[in-house]
Structure formats: structure tokens, C-alpha cells
Amino acid sequence: MNSEIPVAVPVDYTKVDIIVEEIIDTVTGYMTGISREVVQEEIYKAYHFARKAHEGQYRKSGDPYIIHPTETAHIITILKPDLVTIQSCFLHDVPEDTPVTVAEIETEFGPSVAHIVSGMEKLSKVRYRGEDRNIGSMRKMFIAMSEDLRLILVKFADRIHNMRTLEFHPEPEKRHRIALETLNIYVPIADRLGIFDFKEILETECFRILYPEDFRRITDELAEMKTEQDLFLTRATELLSSICPDGIKIYEISSRIKSPYSIYKKMTRKGYEFVSEIYDLFALRIITENIANCYELLGMVHNQYMPSPKRFKDYIALPKPNGYQSLHTTVLGLLPEFRRLPTEIQIRTMAMHRQAEMGVAAHFDYKETGSSTISRDIFWVQELKWLIDKIEDGDFMGEMKTNVFDDRIFIFTPKGAVINLPRDSTPIDFAYAVHSQLGNRLSIAKINGKVCPLDSILHNGDRVEIVTDKNRRPSVTWLSFVKTSRAKEVIRSEINREQREILIIKGRMMLSEYLEKHYGKGLDKDLSLLKHVDDRTLDTKGKEEILLQIGNLSRKPSSLVRSIAESMSPQLQREFLPIQQKAEPVETGFKKIEAEHSFWDLIIGWQKNIAYRFAECCHPVPGSRVVGYVTRLWIKIHRVSCSSIKKGSLDRLIPSNWSNVPVQNTKMRMEVLVENKIWVLRKISDIFYLMLINIEEISQKVEGEHGELARLYLLVAVDEEDYYLYERLVERMKLGIPEFKEAQLTEMV
């Protein structure tokens, strides 16, 4: 956002100088072990160096460019960072926008500042182009973060100031692209690191740019409610103070209001028309001295007011993965003359409050020099490093979303230990999280004392017991439903060694079926299509390695074909992929989607021209698998995999697909032999329902000397290409239907 403007008169730096003095005052206030003189000297040193380097450069707002790094440093003081971080804020754009090099910065300010500034230069090249774009750049960003988390803190502050001044950018397309990038990359990272203030600021700015009408509507409603809210919060604070037991130290009773973007997400998810319908619009917060006081205050609140049984959460005993701790309860009847809806109350200690507001930044360990470190052994950093080392580029962003950014659940072992897993994990993920050999020898899984299928979804608070068998080995079918990277890695390692030939054959079948379905021709005997993959010329062994990746589900046929097609000349595309342009839509940037909107018509409930909006939670794009969700105001289009729709009412879902993309599904004909008894067909139907498999045709033939057996002939379909669906289905029927005898797959349609 800089531009060169001829300097005719001396630049007035008064405004910037005032901000620098405020930074010095703030840092001196929290960095009590260092003299003001040292703080002032180090900050002025970086400020004057950056000011000189950026001399003659201006922002699009017309301000001298130095205002941006100065505001960045000012913003980051919210997190009470060290002097290295603040100096890096002042210098973060110097190597990219001026002739000054990183080496010169290292000479003047040392290796730590140079490392952060160099990382910021690399992050400036990260652009959001959909999930499969610039994976290499994203990997570099996460590597830099795992080495020094201060880098991402500087990036957050930099992005906040850029978002606040984005209206000065003349190109609407670029404003949208930057906001979308922020919402999809930086907001989830801030959330995962527990930096609540930065997450909320970034979300609000993105909301303002991407959905201006909704932003204005919600902020206007909040403004109308402010007087009433303030009165309630004041009276509620006084009331809670008056009923607190003697001997319990209360540091503060305050409140927090949901951010406009959080309100918007809740309104769209629940179908609310007005902000006032949201019962947890705000929460009261009590900050006390110690954990014992937290539970005493909780008892006091529950004695005075009726708690809502499904709205109590103990994040002290079970902290969130980002370290968040607090007691949450929702009560009825608090000042009923002012408020009829339930009221949420949060209870925590001061240390918990710092963690809640600042996340990992609460772990700065200051040194006498004014530098600091953040603990490298916190769970998030460990997980990040492991993923960077183990995950290939093709799976990188998907695995990051599942293992790092996604919601987490807490599962108990039989002895009461807690295992932290991503949402929608299975007993197999649980077993491998405990120990790799427990997973490798897994035979039976019990959830809350009941034997369950291995692909069952775990829920928060489940108690899981694993029964092992030394003769058991991992099954390739597990890879089609396990969630965690650790489980996938160990399973693949085992099956690649023991079932290599089978997986190569399976991979060839899967890829050939995909090609026949979408392009009209399968693989030839020489695997000519695989001659050039990933910028390499492959021999027979190399081609087999690609088929192995397909067979063990570490690579999707669609992504492989897309990668091959992008490197082909038009002539080769016509030869090997004759209908590629129709069958393989590629996800594109935000505005390109808008420009090609007529090509990407949405069919909602089998009808065109239905009004809709894209969901902001999962950002579906043309070509992605989608579903509609009916709200009171409009139909929201979500990705099929979006977690938000799983929380809503299934009755509100409506089938949706892109007009130029054939509905992706797997169909198969199969025979199932069962005992001819009452309820058997019902049991089979229940399993198909739970696995989201549609029975399109069914017929039955009675067999056996006395008609004691029934052979079922089924044509079934599932709306995704799951190449191990049949194996999973048979395993479920074996476990859940005592009358089951055998099954046979007769045809893939």
C-alpha cells in the first residue's frame, strides 16, 4: 500500500512521533525489569532506522509510509511483547520496499530481529487462491511460525492495520481478495493460538468488507440496544458483587459482547432474523483469585439462579487445546425485569483471563535485555512441527485444517486419562493417539462400554476402551475414515510394507475408474498418462509409486489428474484427457468466480435461479461439493464437509449442485445373504442411513430348504467417491447384524 510521491516540503512526523511515545510508555509500564532509558533507546533506534529507509514513500491514504510500521508496533503492544518483537514491527517492510537488506538489519539489530523481518518478507508472498494453491508458500509460513511464534504476532498486527486502512485501496477486487485471505488463513491461526483480541478485530474487519450490508444491519441493531444493554450489565454487575461470599477476592466483574461477525454466524446458523433473538449475545465475567474460588462462585451462582443443564462447561478441568480455561454457565432469572433470555456467566482466575485474551503471547519469558522466548513445548507448536515434517504438499492444507485449526474434543481412557483429538475422530484415531502399537493391534473398540464400529464418530466426553489382538494388523479401509495425521502415517507405513502389491492394483483400478467416469477412457497397459508427474519423468517403479499413493489414499485421483493436466500441452490434453475442460473445474480466485457466474449456475432443489448466498464459514467455490441450508432470510450454500451444517437441523438441508458439474457419487450393485427374520431389513437400512448411503433399488429372493435365508439384491449410491465404501459397509454389517451371512460386490456403476 505504498507509493512514491515527490517530496516538495518537509514531512511532518508529529503524529507518528506521538504514537512512538505512547509505545514507549506502554512498554515501560509492563516491562518493569528494564529502565525507561533502555526501552526508549531500542525503540527509537528501530523507528529512526525505518523512517530513514522509507523516506519518500507514502501510503495510499496519503500518510508517510512510516505510519504503517509504527501503527503495527502500537497494535502489538496489546500482547505485551518483547523489544525484539516491537523492533521487528518497525522494520518489517524495510527489506521488501527499500534497498536495505536483511543482512544490514542483522548487523544493526541482531539475528532475532533479522529472522522475524526475513520471515515477514516471505509471508508477504502468501496469497489465498483456494485450498490447493500456493501450498509451498503456506508450508514456509508454518515452518517460520514453528521456529519463532513472534513472527506470526507481527504479521497479525501488520494485517490488522492494513485491514483498517483497506478502504483506501482503489481496487474492490483486491480488497475482497485480501479480506478473504485474512478470513481463511490468519483468523483461524489467531483462534488456534488463543489470541482472542486479534481474532475478533480481524474477523470484524473482514466482515465489514465482505458483507457490508449485513455488517451495517447488525452494528445498527447493536447500537439501538446499547442503552438497554448497558443498564442491564451495570445492574447485573452490582447484583453479583453484592451476593459474592465473604472471603472470596473478586478482582473484576465485567462483560463481553459478541462480535458482529460472531453474531452474523449465529444468526445464519440458527435462522434468526434479529440480533435480539440471540440469548448469549453477551456474557458476564467474574475474575477471582484462585481455582477454588472459581468453583465456590459457581456454587453461589447456581444457588441463586437456575442453571441451564446443557449450557455448563468446565474448561478448567478440561482446557481447550489453545490453553483456554474458564467455567461457563448459563442461568435463568437474572434481573427478569430487564431481561427474559438466559444469561451466560464466565468465572476464571486472573492468569486464566490473561491466557484467554492473549493466548500464546501470555507465555512471554522476558530477559534482562528486553528479549524473550515463548515456550517451544506448548502443544500447538509440537503438533505444528510434527505436521510440517510428515505431511506431503498435496495433503498439507487439509491436514492443517483437521489437526491444527479444527475444533477439538476430549476423550477419556478407561483409567480416566484425557486424550485430545480433532472433532469427528474415530476409535482408531484414539488408539493411535495413545500408542502406535495399540492402533496396530486394535481388534474391538468400546465406546461408553458398548462395542461399536471402528468408523464410529467420537463425541466430547466419550470413554473409549480398546481391545487388542496380537494377530491383527491395520486395514487399508481405515484410511478412508480416520482423521488424524498420526493415525494415517502409521497405518500407511504398515500397509505399504505388508500390502504393497494389493495397494498398487487397487490404485490402478481407482485411477482407471476415475478416468473412465470423467474422461471416457481409462489407463492403458503402459500407464502412459503417468509418464510425467510432479515435473519428473517416471519409470515403471515411479509409476507404481503413484498408484501406491492412490491405493493408500494419500493422493486423490482428482488432484493427480489436475496436476498432470496443468503441465500438459493442449495437444496432449486432447489426447489423454479429451473432455478435461468440462469435467475438471478448477477452483479460482474470488472475483474470477463472480465474472464467470453464468457458467457456474447453481441448481438448488433441482431448480435454477433460486436466490442464495455463500456461507462465510466454509467459503464454497464453483466446482466444490455443496449443499443448501434454508434460513428464514435466504438459502446459504455450504460445502458438504462444513461442520456448521452438522450442528443445524437436517430438515433444513436442500440438495444443491453446479449445473456444469456432474453429481459426484459412487454406485454399486451388491448381494447380501442374511437369515430370513423379522427386523433384519430394518437393521440393514439403519446401517445404510448412518453411512449416508442411498438404496436406489432392492429386491429379495428366499433361499434354503425351509426358506430360512434371504438374498438381497441392492443398487446403492453415496454422494462421494469412496473407494473403500464396500469394505466399510461389510464390516458394519458383520458387527451390527447377527443374522448377516455374507456379501458380494457384483458391479461398480
Grid coordinates representing 379 are 502443544
Give the span between the Cα atoms of 727 and 157, in whole angstroms: 50
Tell me the angle at which helices 83-91 and 150-164 cross, rounded to the nearest 10 degrees: 50
* Residue given cell 453446479 in the structure block: 658
Neighbours of 631 (CB within 10 A): 18
Neighbours of 429 (CB within 10 A): 25
Give the span between the Cα atoms of 448 and 721, in whole angstroms: 32
Give the span between the Cα atoms of 522 and 541, in whole angstroms: 20
Residue 128 has what pLDDT?
46
Grid coordinates representing 54 are 522509507
Laid out side by side, the sheet with 464-468 consists of 450-452, 442-447, 464-468
The two most distant CA atoms of the chain are separated, in Å, by: 105
Neighbours of 635 (CB within 10 A): 18
Residue type, position 332, single letter:
L
Give the span between the Cα atoms of 509 and 506, in whole angstroms: 5
602-604/536-537 β-pairing = unpaired
Residue type, position 393, single letter:
D
- The alpha carbon torsion through 12, 18, 21, 25 (nearest 10 deg) reads -170
Give the span between the Cα atoms of 603 and 594, in whole angstroms: 17
Tell me the angle at which helices 196-210 and 212-243 cross, rounded to the nearest 10 degrees: 150
Residue type, position 560, single letter:
L
Neighbours of 388 (CB within 10 A): 16
Paired strand residues for 561: none
Residue 439 has what pLDDT?
93
Q: Residues 182, 148: contact at Cβ < 8 Å? A: no
Residue type, position 493, single letter:
S
Residue 556 has what pLDDT?
81
Residue 62 has what pLDDT?
86
Closest CA to 108 of 59, 154, 52: 52
Secondary structure of residue 357 in the 3-state scheme:
helix
Give the span between the Cα atoms of 106 and 86, in whole angstroms: 15
Closest CA to 386 of 508, 452, 485, 314: 485
Give the span between the Cα atoms of 732 and 735, in whole angstroms: 5
Q: Is 735 exposed, middle or buried (0-12, 13-18, 19+ CB in 10 A)?
A: middle
pLDDT along the chain (749 residues), means of 10: 53 91 94 89 96 92 92 94 93 93 94 89 58 51 70 91 89 84 81 85 92 91 86 87 86 88 85 81 90 93 88 87 85 81 91 84 56 51 59 54 60 81 88 92 91 86 89 85 85 85 85 78 84 84 89 81 72 59 36 34 68 76 74 76 67 68 69 92 86 87 91 83 77 88 83
Active-site positions?
A: 96-97
Residue type, position 307, single letter:
P
Grid coordinates representing 109 are 539489530
Give the span between the Cα atoms of 130 and 184, in whole angstroms: 9
Q: Residues 197, 411: contact at Cβ < 8 Å? A: no
* Phi, psi angles (nearest 5°) of residue 168: -80, -10
Give the span between the Cα atoms of 473 and 451, in whole angstroms: 19
Q: Residues 288, 247: contact at Cβ < 8 Å? A: no
As a whole number of Å, the end-to-end CA separation of the chain is: 54
Q: Residues 441, 430: contact at Cβ < 8 Å? A: no
Query: For the CA atoms of the chain, what is the radius of gyration?
Result: 29
Residue 170 has what pLDDT?
82
Grid coordinates representing 254 are 465485567
Q: Which domains does the chain have, with CATH numbers?
A: 2-210 (1.10.3210.10), 213-361 (3.30.460.10), 407-494 (3.10.20.30), 499-583 (no CATH), 590-658 (no CATH), 666-748 (3.30.70.260)
The reported pTM is 0.60
Show the CA angle centred on residue 43, arms to residues 41 and 45, nearest 5°.
65
